[in-house]
Amino acid sequence: MNLARYRTVRQQGSQEITIKRSRFIGYAKPVQSEEEAVAFIEEMKRQHRDATHNCSAYIIGERDQWQKASDDGEPSGTAGKPILEVIKHKGLKNVAVVVTRYFGGIMLGAGGLVRAYTDGAVAGIEAAGEIEYVLHREVVVDVDYTWYGKLENELHSRGVRVGGTDFTDRVVLTCLPVAGEAQSFIDWMTDVTQGQAAITEGETRYYIDGE
């Protein structure tokens, strides 16, 4: 992925709701590939092999290239599609959701099923926790010790993420500005250190926004 930012879920989570005696257990998990999504869905099916249905959906990829929904025996369009629509509505990527149903003896009808699977998907995603990842660029700043105090204060006041600091004969700070602001950050660092810092760009990596 090379998006500036994207929303997904923090971890695997689950939450159960009851609708007209039927138990609906919503599961959500962050996934990085279609294979990982399929494996998660199959794992939930094994875990709930005695369930009436294990319906699912996932969206993966920078442009949502991989999408799939399964009604798993429920009437067409009443389960998998509503789950997929919840993922889309929330703007999530790289996430798989399974809603397991244990039938309670009362028919819900098509509209009732759509609402139930929608609520089940929302419950699972809430349990997993929604987060936003922001792309950052690694910028290594190599300076003389005399600059360290000033740089530390400047970086703190500007709210720049620092990935690490190495102390040898010089100070090497691994700074992590937002990727789209990397060049302006380098220009600023050059100005702050009066051109006396050795600055190199590294890889990009995602971090959770606000953490």
Domain edges within the chain: 5-128, 134-208
Report how far residue 30's alpha carbon sits from residue 76's, in angstroms, rounded to the nearest whole number.
Answer: 26
User: Six-digit token pair at 100?
Assistant: 């397991």
What is the average per-residue pLDDT within 176-190?
96
User: Of 162, 84, 161, which is closest to residue 121 (Cα–Cα)?
Assistant: 84
Whether the CB-CB separation of 36 and 17 falls below 8 Å is answered with no
Q: Does the global pTM surpass 0.75?
A: yes
Using alpha carbons only, give the angle 192, 198, 201 rounded to the nearest 5 degrees. 100
Q: Which CATH class is domain 134-208?
A: alpha beta
CB atoms within 10 A of CB 150: 12
Q: pLDDT band at 210, cuts 50/70/90?
A: confident
- Classified by CATH at the fold level, domain 5-128 comes out as Ribosomal Protein S5; domain 2 (3.30.230)
Confidence (pLDDT) at 211: 79
Mean pLDDT of the chain: 96
Q: Give me the residue label for tokens 């300076």.
A: 143
Res. 71: pLDDT tops 80: yes
What tens digit of pLDDT does each residue of 48-57 get?
A: 999 999 999 9
Report how far residue 150's alpha carbon sits from residue 163's, in angstroms, rounded to the nearest whole number.
Answer: 18
Task: Kindly provide the residue ranges of all beta strands, DSSP E only, lying in the chain, ordered along the sequence.
Answer: 5-9, 13-19, 22-30, 53-60, 66-70, 95-102, 130-143, 161-167, 171-176, 198-208
Confidence (pLDDT) at 2: 81
What tens digit of pLDDT does each residue of 160-171 get?
A: 999 999 999 999
Confidence (pLDDT) at 1: 76
